[in-house]
Amino acid sequence: MKGQAVSAANHARGIYDQILVDITTYVYHYNVQSSRAWSCAKLALLDALGCALETLTESDEARALIGPIVPGTIVKNGFRLTGTPYQLDILKGAFDLGSLIQYLDHNDAYPGVEWGHPSDTIGAILAVADWLSRTARSGGQKPLTMENVLLGLIKAYEIHGYFQNCNTFDQAGLDHTFLVKIASTAIVSWLLGLTEIQAMDALSQAWMDNAPLRVFRHHPNTGPRKGWAAGDACMRAVHLAWLTGKGQPGAPTVLTTPRWGFYSTFLNGREFEILGPLGTRVVESVFFRIYEVEEHAASAVEAAVEVSGVVKEAGLSVVDDIAHVHVRTHQAALTSSDKQGPLHNAADRYRCMQYTIAVVLMKGSTTESADYQDVSPWANDPCVEALRKKIDLVEEPQFTADYHDHNKRSISSGLTVTLEDGTKIDEVVREYPLGHPRREATISCVRKKFKKNVEGWYGKGEKAQHILRLEPLKEELFRTMPVYNLVDRFAGE
């Protein structure tokens, strides 16, 4: 195997762009030895599948998108979609699971220069692995196990974060789900048994695809596509790997070709900045979403809960007695969540920090998915709108610096409230909100979140308990489980 790796690397050197070589060599040959990486991968997988169940529970809109294109189709040995009775081909399965995981934007995130959601890749990884596992079983062969899935997850997370650490795509107007496609293509190529040269070809196809525009994430075009953009990337990754496996060639210098390559076309000739070698850092430092808020608003939400308590304990009214709310935060929050004017749908509200803070101040508790929906009482409450107009967001340069500091990755926000009589309530600052790897309570909260999501869809009966028994299962047993065994536990009847 080592000799084959050297041979493949030598063959690729000078022919394929170095990034394609580095990613493929990592995927095919890196030995994961970190016990923390394995345990974090298991928790991340369960959290993501819990998020898929949460979407099924909360979103009629998302439920309308899933299932076979031709109603009633059941694919032999196909992927059994989480929470549903559907058994799908791997393209639609990857789309559906990727969409369910991300739709409510409650799955984990990685705090690089540009945030993204490495768990979005699970849609592609699990759909393909389940199909391969079932196909092997039907042919009397040894099925893939959850060790294959977790290994793929660890490496997909790392590839995703590899680019996030020092590079931002939003400056070029590109959506970060591009990284979902890149990472998923690499792992699916490995799962499908493509050669390393084929894997590089498949990756080059993903780069040629480029990325969607970010327009659907920003006013005035914010819409539900942000919920299924990850599923779309998963589906495309599976398709590109499959096409390559059928003999389609790639573009070895897709990045560096003058004029027509990615660097020239989208980055004005600038190449990617890379922080250190590929390893297991990303999965070990991922940010879990505990609060149902856009990730950049998590610290502001914690501060707003405390401020709301102070106001109410003083016998004051949040609506009548607050004159102004001044929010110091980091630049990324302003880019993603600073919105003025009308909010037209749930996606618009979710990505408006002023709306989130206003609702939290009025509730005195963190927001829930239902608070962003059109039918929510908050969505059309004139008091929320009046309070939203009193909130201003400004960049605090030190918060931005700490946000980009690879050794801190903080997500700081500070709230200062001025009352109608001119009195100021002392600023409340939060640096590491719950869900950040530096918060000790994060892991226990993720476990509680998983339980809540499973029981939210399946109730508290035996089906739910059968799923929940996976969480305390010893890692060694979990990793030896056939993939179809885990998928069957989550699938509905």
Same domain, 152 and 109: yes
* Degrees, nearest 5: CA angle 319-322-323: 120
- Cβ contacts of 339 within 8 Å, gap of 6 or more: 219, 348, 351, 352, 353, 354, 355
Do 184 and 154 lie in one domain? The reply is yes
Indicate whether 397 belongs to any domain: yes
Question: With the C-alpha atoms ordered 170, 174, 175, 177, is the resulting torsion angle positive or negative?
Answer: negative
Please check whether residue 131 is in contact with residue 238, taking contact to mean a CB–CB distance below 8 angstroms.
no
Q: Decide: helix, strand or coil at residue 425.
A: strand
Tell me if 176 sits within 8 A of 228, measured CB to CB: no
Name the pLDDT band for 296 (thresholds 50, 70, 90): confident
Q: What pLDDT does residue 252 have?
A: 96
* Strand-pair category, 413-419 with 424-430: antiparallel
Q: Which structural domain range is residue 128 located in?
A: 2-284
Pick the last residue of a domain from 234, 258, 284: 284
Residue 328 lies in a domain: yes
Average pLDDT over residues 239-257: 96
In this predicted model, which residue has the larger pLDDT, 147 or 8? 147
Give residue 418's Cα distance to chain centre.
36
Percent of the chain's residues with pLDDT above 90: 76
Q: Which residues lie across from 377 on neighbouring strands?
A: none
Predicted pLDDT of residue 255: 95
94 closest CA partner among 209, 213, 195, 228: 228
Report residue 405 as tokens.
């500091």
Residue 266: half-sphere exposure toward Cβ, Cα within 13 Å: 23
Q: How many whole angstroms separate alpha carbon 151 and alpha carbon 131? A: 17
* CATH code of the domain containing 385: 3.30.1330.120
Please indicate, yes or no, whether residues 121 and 46 belong to a single structural domain of this protein.
Answer: yes
446: pLDDT strictly greater than 50: yes
Q: What pTM, to 2 d.p., does this model score?
A: 0.88
Average pLDDT over residues 116-133: 97
CA distance 452 to 449: 5
Q: Which of 284, 313, 331 is the last residue of a domain?
A: 284
Give residue 2's pLDDT: 42
Q: What's 79's domain CATH number?
A: 1.10.4100.10
Whether 376 is in a domain gets the answer: yes
Residue 223: its pLDDT value, please?
A: 84
Count of CB atoms within 10 A of residue 242's CB? Answer: 18
Q: Is 222 among the domain residues?
A: yes
In this structure, the answer to whether residues 262 and 404 fall within a common structural domain is no
Q: For position 332, what pLDDT does the model report? A: 86
Instruction: Kindly tell me the sign of the dihedral angle through the C-alpha atoms of 380, 383, 386, 390.
Output: negative
Residue that finishes a domain, picked among 284, 307, 334: 284
Share of the chain above pLDDT 70, in %: 97
Binning pLDDT at 50, 70 and 90, where does residue 8 land?
low
303 and 266 in a common domain: no
Cross-strand partners of 109:
287
* The total number of structural domains that make up the chain: 2
Q: Which helix (H) or strand (E) is 404 found in, with range?
A: helix 397-404
Q: Residues 349-402: pLDDT tens digits? A: 988 999 999 999 999 999 988 899 999 999 999 999 999 999 999 999 999 999
